[in-house]
Structure 1
Amino acid sequence: MKIAVVAANGKEGQLVVKEAVKRGHDVTAVVRGENKSEAQHAIIKDLFDLTAADLVGFDVVVDAAGAWTPDTLHVIPDAAKHLSDVLAGSDVRLIVVGGAGSLFVNKEHTVALEDTPDFPDAYKPVSAAHGEALAHLRTLSDVKWTYISPAADFQAEGARTGSYELAGEEFTANAEGQSFISYADYAIAVVDEAESAKHVGERISVYTK
């Protein structure tokens, strides 16, 4: 399988590349400068300069673009929008590394985690940016997208346990009432979805049991 990982030099991007290469896939890093990931190939280009021609022949494109500062948060929804525009009408699947704040906390799907009183104010801007990306994807019928929300506690330095639990649109905690997953285990879920294509046109979520 041919997989392109956008923002492959980032923390999650590097782990997705590592997991995919480990499984024997042909992986291309899309990076603005030197490729620091384990990808066998690289497209040295700003993601917003990518064209349909750049991504022809890939089975899956992973959008791992992230941002944290107020002046860069727009990159999160803008990346999803640009990549979906580029891939529209093609058979290339788009998997987006998403956020947890938009997960629903009620069965009616009217209240999201980010709307609850205990959701930290500091995380609301980045949560809103991820939510905007998801809202855009939901409007599309000509893109084979999948949006994967991590658990609430998304641990960059967390250990790779080698497993995860799959959930849907609703916020889900483990038996101890905790919601967490490491970047490394999240990468496993991304590559699993790349291989299976079981959730095209859906948002799914993952957490550690």
Structure 2
Amino acid sequence: MKIAVIGAHGKAGNLIAQEAIKRGHDVTAIVRKKHNDNFENVIEKDLMDLNKEDLAGFDAVANAVSAWTEDTFFIHTDGISHLAHLLEGTDTKLLMVGGAGTLYINKEHSLQLMDKPNFPEELKPLGRTLRANLERIRSFSNLQWTYVSPAYELDFDGPETGKYIIGGEEFFTNDKDKSYISYADYAKAFVDIIENDYVRRRVSVIGA
């Protein structure tokens, strides 16, 4: 497959790109500035400056851009609209690295993890932005989108085990009652999702 990874210098983006390369996929890193890395194919552009020609011919585009401050939150909302307008009506899959806070905690899907009283106050602004991000991506009827939420505890220093569970839209835990996954295992699961048919679905991933 021909795969573009936007934000390929970030924690999740880099691991997703490297995992896809390991599996023999043709990977293009889309980054704001080139670093000294081993990517053979690089597009040096801001997400908002990408055009249809930049993304033409890819089987999948993975959006792994992160934004943690209120002045950059627009990249989660305006950014997803920009990418959707570039890709709608094509066969290219658009996959989004999402957040755990938007996972549902009731069967009616009226409450999300971030609505729990003990959800960290400092994460609520980002949670609200990612909620808007998910709603925005769902609104495009002619887009091959997939939204991939990690476990509540996403650990950059955790080991790569190759053991994980791909679930649906509801928050769940493993048999140890944990919602945990390492970045390395999240990246492996993410590439599994790229390779398979999870189109027009939000999925979640936790460590087994």
TM-score normalised to structure 1 length: 0.96
Provide the identity percentage.
47
CA RMSD of aligned residues (A): 1.2
In the alignment, which residue of structure 2 is the partner of 1:62?
62
Does 2:141 correspond to 1:145? no
**Which ranges in structure 1 are unaligned for 5 or more consecutive residues?**
none
What letter corresponds to residue 182 of structure 2 in structure 1? S
Cα distance between partner residues in 1 of 2:31 and 2:4: 10
Residue 67 of structure 1: CA displacement?
A: 1.2
Runs of 4+ in 1 over 6 A off after TM superposition: none
Contact 1:166 1:206 in 2 (8 A): yes
Q: 1:36 to 1:98 in 2, by over 3 A?
A: farther
Cα distance between partner residues in 2 of 1:36 and 1:93: 28
Q: Deviations over 1:116-146 (max 9, x none)?
A: 1111111111111211111011111111000
Residue 35 of structure 1: CA displacement?
A: 4.2
Q: 1:116 to 1:61 in 2, by over 3 A?
A: same
Does 2:204 correspond to 1:205? yes
Q: Deviations over 1:24-50 (max 9, x none)?
A: 000000011114554320001111010
Cα distance between partner residues in 1 of 2:157 and 2:89: 37
Cα distance between partner residues in 2 of 1:32 and 1:138: 27
Residue 174 of structure 1: CA displacement?
A: 1.3
Q: 1:166 to 1:36 in 2, by over 3 A?
A: farther
Question: Residues 42-191 of structure 1: matches in 2 within 5 Å?
Answer: 42-191=42-191
Contact 1:8 1:37 in 2 (8 A): no
Residue 208 of structure 1: CA displacement?
A: 0.8
Cα distance between partner residues in 1 of 2:93 and 2:167: 20
Cα distance between partner residues in 1 of 2:138 and 2:68: 23
Cα distance between partner residues in 1 of 2:17 and 2:47: 17
Residue 107 of structure 1: CA displacement?
A: 1.0
Q: Residue 188 of structure 1: SS of its match in structure 2?
A: helix
Question: Residues 14-25 of structure 1: matches in 2 within 5 Å?
Answer: 14-25=14-25
Contact 1:14 1:38 in 2 (8 A): no
Q: How many residues align?
A: 208
Q: Residue 101 of structure 2: SS of its match in structure 1?
A: coil
Residue 60 of structure 1: CA displacement?
A: 0.3
